[in-house]
Amino acid sequence: MALRIPPGRAGRTWLLERLEIARRGADLLDRKRRALMRARAQLRAEADDALHEWREAMSEAQLWIGRATVVDGAGRLELLAGHARQPASLEVSWSNLMGAHLPATAQLEIPALPSLSALGASSAAVSAARACCRATRAAVRYAVAERGLAEISAELARANRRLRALEKRWIPQHEAALAQLELALDESQREQAVRVRWATRAV
């Protein structure tokens, strides 16, 4: 897109002001980019740790579910599951970090387990229920970390695109226009000086 530069020295002032604003913007974007990269590294470590915890919890839950299925039978486990008082609930609050919309906290409410032993369940079924609760909590922690990581990564990509646009296109375009205008102004000034000398000699 061609620049609409005001004529004469007003154009030089206009270009200088726009270049100053662009360079300040590029500096702010670069600082934002570095801050987002630090936040992403922290979230990546959190997500990796949460993933490891979730996999371990899932493995334990699957182990106990398998044992409970052998001891109690699949039909019996379904009957026991029907005694759950209410479903679990999850409430997520959000925060803003340099334009990234992040899940700040996740409040998971898992209702207290019914007395499975009193209902005739085996100890394997009790352990399976507890393991499933732990796996659910671990899954929520991992999901929150992964969503935060995705949001940070998306905002970082946007900041990188804007910074590249400024540094690779916008600023060079204006610098080239300024150099061309200054050359034209210098040439015009030299021509004016020559005309003044000729006029002086004529007198």
| CATH code that applies to domain 10-202 | 1.10.287.3240
pTM of the model: 0.76
| DSSP code, position 118 | T
Burial 152-166 (b: 16+ CB within 10 A, else e): beebbebbeebbeeb
Closest to 40 in 3D by CA, of 104, 100, 93: 100
| DSSP code, position 92 | E
8 Å CB contact between 127 and 86:
no
pLDDT of residue 200: 72
Q: How far is CA 7 from CA 14, 181, 183, in A?
A: 10, 9, 13
pLDDT of residue 111: 80
pLDDT of residue 203: 57
pLDDT of residue 195: 67
CB contact set of 135 (below 8 Å; sequence gap of 6+): 54, 57, 58, 60, 61
Both structure tokens of 195: 């005309």
What is the C-alpha separation between 186 and 180, in angstroms, rounded? 10
Q: What is the pLDDT along the chain (203 residues), one digit of tens a residue?
A: 567 878 778 888 899 999 999 999 999 999 999 999 999 999 999 999 999 999 999 999 999 999 988 988 888 777 777 767 778 888 999 999 888 899 988 899 888 877 766 677 788 888 888 898 999 999 999 999 999 999 999 999 999 999 999 999 999 999 998 888 888 877 877 767 666 677 676 65
pLDDT of residue 121: 77
